[in-house]
Amino acid sequence: MEKDNYDSIRDFLEHKVQNCRILVLGDVMLDQYFYGTVTRISPEAPVPINLIKRQENKLGGCANVAHNLARLGCRVYLSGVIADDYHGQILKEQLKELQIDTAGLIYGREKTTTKARILGGHQQMIRLDFEESDFISKETSHQLYTYVETALKQGLDGIILSDYKKGVITPELSQKVITLAHDFQVPVFVDPKGSDWEKYRNADYITPNIKELGDAAGFSVNNEDKDVCRACHSLQEKFEIKTILSTRSEKGMSLVEKNQVSHITTVAKDVFDVSGAGDTVIACFSAGVAGGLSTLDAAAMSNLAAGIGVGKVGTYAVSNEEIFEKLNDN
């Protein structure tokens, strides 16, 4: 990247990001981490005994996208479905502390989606999932749509559909939100899941990783420039998607637009945990584009932020200040 590109990102982070209004719609989750030590085997069964020393609750799923946006300095609105339970209450309290608007959170589940990770030292031993993944009811879907409509009327700069395939981003709701956003001339950014991209048709921007790219294209995609571009162009034409930003692990990212392709080299030095990296990418990219950065500068900022996030253990939201520091390093 040229110095001018970094100057544009600095200017955005310092003067413009605070005015970005982004709504995140998708699968809200709570990530729990139980940290302990293992020194012996249970006399009851041949399993290790983990003596838990501390516990952390973190925002997960699309709530982590919202967290990343808030740490950048955006004005953030979160919409999704939770339960009126203990885990749902933890989520709402953490979101409130970050000044994320939670008026779009609907009680429509019997349990709040929660992923509990048990770690011995820095090694994850087991993960316990508490979730419902069936499609939300039509009534709940209508409530979400009504909230999105109200938010658009009040003013938004972008909408993110954060799909974790837990039943919130239904084909009908997704298409209705994309159409509605375009009526208000607001871009839609998608973090996809699964092979069926029909529900993302006409989205402006989509950010698959290399596996998701292959799943949607219907063939295995080698992590090479030519193969990634072929898959992206095929999907753009098939689903009428304007731009694809594909994350490619150690090979960085590829920004594939209608008449231009840019490959961005990774800046990550140490990789401890890739969980949540996709959330960081979609948050930074959407904020940048919605805030007036070029797609290339927004992708470069996302790449810098992802390089920071994967160097942390567990789900991590990268701050405005950390990206500034990374810019100076580069």
Helix intervals (H) in the chain: 3-11, 62-72, 86-97, 138-154, 171-183, 210-217, 225-239, 277-290, 295-309, 320-329
Regions in the chain scoring below 70 on pLDDT: 1-4, 268-276, 313-314, 330
Give catalytic status of residue 279 as yes or no: yes
Residue 217 and residue 197: Cα distance in Å, rounded? 9
Decide: helix, strand or coil at residue 314. Answer: coil
The token pair that represents 324 in the structure block: 């500034």
With a CB cutoff of 8 Å and minimum separation 6, the contacts of 253 are 245, 246, 247, 263, 264, 266, 281, 299, 302, 303
CA distances in angstroms from 202 to 181, 242, 281, listed in the order given: 11, 8, 20
Using the 8-state DSSP alphabet, how is residue 209 labeled?
A: B
pLDDT at 325: 85
CATH superfamily of 3-329: Ribokinase (3.40.1190.20)
pLDDT at 1: 54
Q: Are 205 and 188 in contact (CB under 8 A)?
A: yes
Q: Are 206 and 177 in contact (CB under 8 A)?
A: no
Task: Quickly tell me which residue has 């993110």 as its tokens.
Answer: 160
The total of other beta-carbon atoms located within 10 Å of residue 210's CB is 20
pLDDT at 269: 55
- Give me the helix-helix angle, 62-72 and 320-329, nearest 10°: 70
Residue 181 and residue 188: Cα distance in Å, rounded? 7
pLDDT at 87: 97
pLDDT at 324: 85
pLDDT at 309: 78
- pTM of the full predicted structure? 0.93
Give phi and psi for 128, each to the nearest 5.
-110, 125
Decide: helix, strand or coil at residue 115. Answer: strand
Residue whose C-alpha is closest to residue 69's, from 329, 254, 323: 323
pLDDT at 130: 96
pLDDT at 70: 97
Task: Quickly tell me which residue has 């030292």 as its tokens.
Answer: 121
Using the 8-state DSSP alphabet, how is residue 207 labeled?
A: -
CA distances in angstroms from 212 to 151, 231, 243, 248, listed in the order given: 30, 11, 15, 11
Q: Are 101 and 78 in contact (CB under 8 A)?
A: yes
Residue 75 and residue 16: Cα distance in Å, rounded? 11
pLDDT at 100: 98
| DSSP string across 51-82 | EEEEEEEEEEEHHHHHHHHHHHT-EEEEEEEE
pLDDT at 106: 97
pLDDT at 275: 57
Q: Which of 27, 191, 279, 297 is catalytic?
A: 279
Residue ranges per domain, the chain?
A: 3-329
The token pair that represents 100 in the structure block: 């994320």
